[in-house]
């Protein structure tokens, strides 16, 4: 089978399965099989190169799974986030593009700290996407991260070892993490579970494959947000910054919650799609 034909076949299957990024997913999967970037694959496809039998079998197996809405990242074992190539798989929340906006807010806040060694904490770090980005992009920072799930930590530990070996990663509950840092943290960021318990996510990749403990946040979706706020109040120094990711319809409720609890300069920020995605405040 020609590479171009393989891409066309997979694209059609994915489009029929309701996958919006059908062309990109076809190229990424074929590139994964051939160990090529999308650009390299596209060049080789133009020249009429062929798949050998083993490559074709492997590709078609992956196409069948993707058409059943298995997450692309679970099939390749990789999620791309900012400048990172993170290990992911079943049991860990796959980082989303919109979280890059949240991460930028935390990076900017950390860079603005007037200290040679600012301290940042990431609560419920998942794959480590936010915490590792802070460690890589603000190399003078001391970064601490906590994750409760043993399944997630299989991947988190690999990602920290690759990109942020001097950062601190612990297993535990975000509600009582890092008591030794009480009152010392400059920036606290979290992407906690925030989907209301009775709301089913639209995409099968999410509600069938992302771990439920990384998705659901109680009846109103804010149970873990409340815990994050409580931990942030304990951990942050006066003047420290809080950054919380949330659903697009939760900005008003979170601002009201945080302002009523004594925070200052509370603002909600949009992601690149124009949807409310994060709320920030000052201790």
Cα separation, 224 vs 92, in Å, equals 17
In this structure, are residues 127 and 88 in contact, taking their beta carbons and an 8 Å threshold?
yes
Where in the sequence is the domain holding 83, given as residue range(s)?
A: 78-282
Same domain assignment for residues 97 and 232: yes
Dihedral angle of Cα 226, 173, 213, 101, to the nearest 10 degrees: 60
Q: Is the pLDDT of residue 257 over 80?
A: yes
The mean pLDDT of 233-257, rounded to a whole number, is 96
Would 73 be classed as within a structural domain?
no
The whole-chain average pLDDT of the chain stands at 94
Dihedral angle of Cα 155, 159, 162, 167, to the nearest 10 degrees: -120
Whole-model pTM: value is 0.91
Same domain assignment for residues 7 and 136: no
Pick from 40, 68, 96: which residue ends a domain?
68
pLDDT of residue 16: 96
Share of the chain above pLDDT 70, in %: 99
Q: What is the CATH number of the domain that holds 235?
A: 3.40.50.150
How would residue 142 be classed by pLDDT, with cut points 50, 70 and 90?
very high
pLDDT of residue 184: 98
- Going 219 to 222 to 228 to 229, the CA torsion angle's sign is negative
What digits encode the pLDDT tens for the residues 69-112? Answer: 999 999 999 999 999 999 999 999 999 999 999 999 999 999 99
Same domain assignment for residues 52 and 170: no
Number of domains in the chain: 2
Would 220 be classed as within a structural domain?
yes
Same domain assignment for residues 217 and 139: yes
pLDDT of residue 108: 98
Same domain assignment for residues 159 and 62: no
Same domain assignment for residues 212 and 238: yes
Neighbour tally for 2: CB within 10 Å: 14
DSSP 11-55: HHHHHHTT-TTHHHHHHHHHHHHHT--HHHHHHHHHTT-B--HHH
Same domain assignment for residues 247 and 171: yes
Q: Which residue has the tokens 């692309």?
A: 72
């Amino acid at each position: 089978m020609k590479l171009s034909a393989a891409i066309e076949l997979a694209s059609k299957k994915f489009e029929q399965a309701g996958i919006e990024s059908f062309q990109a997913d076809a190229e990424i999967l074929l590139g994964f099989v051939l160990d090529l970037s999308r650009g390299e694959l596209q060049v080789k496809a133009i020249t009429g190169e062929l798949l050998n039998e083993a490559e074709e079998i492997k590709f078609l197996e992956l196409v069948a799974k993707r058409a059943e809405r298995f997450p692309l990242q679970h099939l390749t074992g990789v999620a791309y986030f900012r400048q990172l190539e993170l290990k992911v798989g079943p049991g860990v929340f796959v980082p989303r593009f919109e979280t890059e906006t949240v991460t930028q807010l935390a990076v900017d806040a950390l860079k603005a700290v007037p200290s040679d060694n600012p301290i940042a904490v990431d609560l419920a770090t998942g794959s480590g996407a936010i915490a590792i980005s802070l460690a890589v992009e603000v190399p003078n920072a001391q970064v601490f991260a906590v994750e409760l799930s043993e399944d997630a930590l299989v991947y988190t530990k690999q990602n920290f070892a690759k990109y942020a070996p001097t950062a601190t990663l612990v297993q535990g509950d975000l509600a009582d993490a890092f008591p030794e840092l009480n009152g010392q943290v400059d920036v606290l960021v979290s992407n906690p579970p925030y989907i209301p318990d009775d709301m089913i996510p639209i995409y099968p990749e999410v509600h069938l494959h992302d771990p439920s403990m990384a998705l659901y946040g109680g009846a109103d979706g804010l149970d873990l947000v409340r815990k994050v706020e409580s931990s942030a109040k304990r951990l942050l120094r006066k003047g420290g910054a809080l950054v919380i990711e949330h659903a697009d319809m939760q900005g008003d409720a979170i601002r009201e919650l945080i302002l009523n609890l004594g925070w200052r300069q509370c603002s909600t920020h949009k992601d690149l799609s124009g949807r409310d995605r994060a709320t920030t405040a000052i201790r």
